[in-house]
Amino acid sequence: MTLINLLSFSSGKTLATEDNQELMGQVQNYTEEFSETKPNDSVTQQIPVYQLDDVSPTDWAYSALLSLRDRYDCLSGYPDNTFRGNRPITRYEFAAALNACWQTLESFMAESQAELIQEDDLIVVERLIQDFQVEIANLKARIDGLGNRVDVLEAEQFSTTTKLNGQTIFAVNAGGFDGDRLIDPNGRELADENPQATLLYRVVFDFDTSFRGTDLLKLRVDTGSNGILDNATAILEPNFGSILDITRRPLRDDEFGIGRVFYSFQVVENLSLTVGPLIEALDYIDNNSYANLSFRDFSTANLVYNYVIFPMDAIGGGAILQWNPGGSAFNVRALYIAPDSANPTQNGQTPLPVSLFTSLLYSDGRGSRGLFGFHQGMVEFEYNPSSRFSLRLIYSGGRVFARRFDAVGVNFEWGFASKFAVFGRYGYSSYKDTDFGDINPNYWMAGVSGLDILQEGDRVGVAVGQPFIVNEIGNSTQTNLEVFYSYAVNDNISISPVFQAVFDSSNQESNDTIFTGTLRTVFYF
């Protein structure tokens, strides 16, 4: 029983039984003794407890409360570990102290320790409650009023807030290959010499605004070097995702641009909707705790997402619906994106934002633009019973260059120890009417990752994968390998050496192995 319902307790069944009437009378007589008018006494005239403005150390109520404190240790004092006793207190202070002692007695009774409470003390507490029932009622009303005001403030008085988050990436990259030359999937020469070392970068500013505390308006401004030309694997193997992903989403070539514009809000409990003209599918679908963010873990593009289920660099207009039924371990996400949604052109020749393998499959580059032309729809079912295990089933489909594609994928992660986890992805797809006919590319990747190995915040990972397994293109299957170690200098800076190897690049057996090394530095602010 708390302070706000002490009054109802005092008006209920009395604690005193007929056997205790004599003791109750003694308490009454004792109180009245100090309340009698004594004109000839030099001590200040006493008045009944319920008429006192303050309760002083000489009053019966004060003494009774101190006795309860001594026997039941029910008053802990002020935050500075002082009790500050032996001084007058207001009736409201007294009521609060009385409530604390009553809660202590009640806890004894709830824990079947009622034998520790003296019956006389229960009678005294009841008498004190009766004497201070006005203060208790007033406190109850004040607390109720305060609670209502807090509810109003939480519901209606949230002020619009914008928060800036930022990130800067610097990376030094160098790599090469043995042999005379490298060829692409069609047999054309890609390179006959090793590229020069490069210094690449990316800068991101996120402006996150909330109007109600439960919504989000995001505006991202970013810039960076040219992601398809600023690193060795982008030059030596551009078609099947060996490129460093950290500077290519989206491509900027040293110019500032808008990378995200969307608004997210809660429709009902456990159901949210995101809409906007610039949305990134990979922000929501096919996430993985150990192979997802190219600035934090693996940097090879085809190791941080399922390569065959994303035929386009899906940043465009659309919507995402996210549902967590009943707050359970299941999550459902449905997404629709049109990468060129702001362009009404029919069958235009301007470049479309597609993955490089898509341009390989459809060399004519034609297709309808707008919100319902070139598009991608995705559905993901996620089972996430704990922080150590997740399983995701994904469907992806739509139209690319006026042709139909469909794909399914599986994504899993399992933390089998406190610091180590295994993870992987698999994809199967169907692309119609390509330059190579109707094809069904497969994809897989797997890896192991360690967290906090040398110090808190460090990450290490090894992953291998085959991004585009198909008989119709080339005479082999490309295999990618990456090893990285991310060293956390502090909460805002990390440094990561990254090693890449590409075997049978471009699905061509004649291509010698490509090796690259990158030193990646990330600043968070």
The half-sphere exposure of 28 on its side-chain side, counting CA atoms within 13 A, is 7
Q: With a cut of 90, say whether residue 323 has pLDDT above it.
A: yes
202 pLDDT higher than 90: yes
Ranges for all domains in the chain classified under CATH 2.40.160.10: 158-524
Which of the pair, 36 or 314, is modelled with greater confidence? 314
CA pair distance 10, 140, nearest whole angstrom:
14
CATH class in words for 158-524: mainly beta
Name the residue with higher pLDDT: 86 or 230.
230
pLDDT of residue 208: 96
Beta-carbon count within 10 A of 187 CB: 11
70 token code pair = 């001594």
CB-facing half-sphere around the CA of 74: CA atoms within 13 A: 23
Rounded-to-integer distance, Cα 442 and Cα 308, Å: 7
Task: Find the mean pLDDT for residues 347-352.
Answer: 57
pLDDT (mean) for 382-389: 94
**8 A C-beta contact, residue 199 and residue 170:** yes
Looking at residue 142, its pLDDT comes to 81
pLDDT at 495: 97
**pLDDT at site 468:** 96
Mean pLDDT across the chain = 83
**Percentage of the chain with pLDDT > 70?**
85
pLDDT of residue 31: 39
Of 119 and 38, the one with more pLDDT: 119
Q: Is 434 exposed, middle or buried (0-12, 13-18, 19+ CB in 10 A)?
A: buried
Residue scoring higher pLDDT (29 or 242): 242
Other Cβ atoms closer than 10 A to 501: 18
Q: If we measure between CA atoms, which residue out of 487, 478, 479, 417 comes closest to residue 448?
A: 417
The rounded distance, in Å, linking the Cα atoms of 489 and 495 is 7
Orientation angle between helical segments 60-72 and 91-110, nearest 10 degrees: 30
Per-residue model confidence (pLDDT) at position 25? 47
What is the reported pTM? 0.70
Confidence of residue 77 (pLDDT cuts 50, 70, 90): low
Confidence band for 460, pLDDT divided at 50, 70 and 90: very high
- pLDDT tops 90 at residue 508: yes
Mean pLDDT across 274-303? 94
pLDDT bucket at 70, cuts 50 / 70 / 90: confident
| Lowest-confidence region among 27-41, 156-170, 325-339 | 27-41
Query: What pLDDT score does 461 carry?
Result: 97
Q: Highest mean pLDDT: which of 218-232, 363-377, 459-473? A: 459-473
Q: Give 84-140 pLDDT, tens digit per residue.
A: 556 777 777 788 788 888 888 888 887 777 777 888 888 888 888 888 788 777 877
Q: What is the pLDDT of residues 44-53, one digit of tens each?
A: 344 454 555 6
- What integer is the mean pLDDT of 253-282? 94
Query: Token pair for residue 360?
Result: 């390989």
pLDDT in tens, 472-489: 999 999 999 999 999 999
**pLDDT at 350 exceeding the cut of 60:** no
* 49 three-class SS: helix
The pLDDT of 355-363, averaged and rounded, is 84
